[in-house]
Structure 1
Amino acid sequence: MSLRYSAGVLLFRRTDRLEVLLGHLGGPLWAKKDTAAWSIPKGEYVPAEEDSSTAAGREFTEELGLPVPDGEWIPLGEVVYGSGSGKKQLVVWAVEADLDPALVVPGTFAMEWPPRSGRMAEFPEIDRAEWFDLDTAEDKLGKGQRPYLARLREYLAAAPIE
């Protein structure tokens, strides 16, 4: 079993409530799913070749087609999730910034579709991005990424208000 490494950036904003930007997983396997079908913009990297913060910024840009907005990068730490050969270590930073989801131009990936057809098709990494309050985001995110919402809450509760 080998551990895979991912890094990502969780944008947040304060409107009348705290909100985070999530991306709905693209491709035919996720098209009709909503609960646990959203993700923090993230992707894999090789620690010996790239540091996690550089990877997080690169993956954010690849997934959303936009650079990470300016702002302080707040480390939210690591989480290991998954099982067997699918085990992944994810490291995430939070950045307070606004971003218009209508500007997102997602990257794509190729996969055989339909299964066992021998035909390759391209699909968007994410098919849409949206802002969610933290309670709704808890339902939207996959289980392995949910700890980052609590960590963001804790950080903001302890941080001095500017």
Structure 2
Amino acid sequence: MPRRSAGLLIHRGTGDGIEVLLGHPGGPFYARKDDGSWSIPKGEYTDEDPLDAARREFVEEVGIAVPDGPAVDLGEVRQSSGKIVTAWAVAGDIDVTVAVSNTFEMEWPPRSGTLQSFPEIDRVAWFDLQTADTKILASQRPFLERLRAAVG
């Protein structure tokens, strides 16, 4: 059975002025990566309603309450790892300067025996849809297309 994640694609603006909120993964493996590395804030779940999991993970990874309003189902994608990601679009304007992510620990440098803490998301930013196409993981690009179709 594949692992499952759920996330939210927060967006603001209309028409050609639509912007989306993406997160850059923290930790040493992504420190020098940019284009093709950003993601919707998301996380794994098991025995939980996927939309509830998406809302919980957003708060954990961004540290900001989910905007009020309806969640538009953007369907699923399968990432190269085999993980299935389900996403919803929610309209809202978030101040990214106050974002604070939860952390994870890993041995770094490898085989050093030293555990270090890193943020799950080291930064969040707003991107217009054209720029987001370049920044987001290739497997998540369909969410941007589905958002375009949903909000016009």
Range into which the TM-score falls when normalised by the shorter chain: over 0.9
Q: Could you report, residue by residue, the CA deviation over 1:23-53 in whole angstroms, capped at 9, with x for unpaired residues?
A: 111111111111112110000011xx10100
TM-score by length of 1: 0.90
Which residue, 99, 102, 110 being the options, matches 2:97? 102
TM-score by length of 2: 0.96
Residue 148 of structure 1 pairs with residue 143 of structure 2: yes
Structure 2 runs not aligned, ≥5 long: none
The SS at the match of 2:65 is: coil
Structure 1 runs not aligned, ≥5 long: 158-162
Aligned equivalent of 1:58: 56
Q: Could you report, residue by residue, the CA deviation over 1:38-81 in whole angstroms, capped at 9, with x for unpaired residues?
A: 110000011xx101001000100110111211111111011112
What is the distance in 2 between the residues matched to 1:24 and 1:39?
A: 6
Matches within 5 A, 1:109-124: 109-124=104-119
The SS at the match of 1:8 is: strand
What is the distance in 1 between the residues matched to 2:92 and 2:52?
A: 18
What is the distance in 1 between the residues matched to 2:36 and 2:69?
A: 28
Residue 41 of structure 1 pairs with residue 36 of structure 2: no
Aligned equivalent of 1:31: 31
What is the distance in 2 between the residues matched to 1:132 and 1:96?
A: 14
The SS at the match of 2:30 is: coil
The SS at the match of 2:32 is: coil
What is the distance in 1 between the residues matched to 2:128 and 2:51?
A: 25
**Counterpart of 2:79 in structure 1: which amino acid?**
Y
* Count of equivalent residues: 151
What is the distance in 2 between the residues matched to 1:36 and 1:26?
A: 14
Two-structure CA RMSD over aligned residues (Å): 1.1
What is the distance in 2 between the residues matched to 1:40 and 1:56?
A: 10
**Counterpart of 1:31 in structure 2: which amino acid?**
A
What is the distance in 2 between the residues matched to 1:68 and 1:41?
A: 11
What is the distance in 1 between the residues matched to 2:29 and 2:119?
A: 12
The SS at the match of 1:39 is: coil
What is the distance in 2 between the residues matched to 1:31 and 1:18?
A: 27
Percent identity, please: 55
Aligned equivalent of 1:160: none
The SS at the match of 2:5 is: strand
**Counterpart of 2:63 in structure 1: which amino acid?**
G
What is the distance in 1 between the residues matched to 2:135 and 2:77?
A: 18
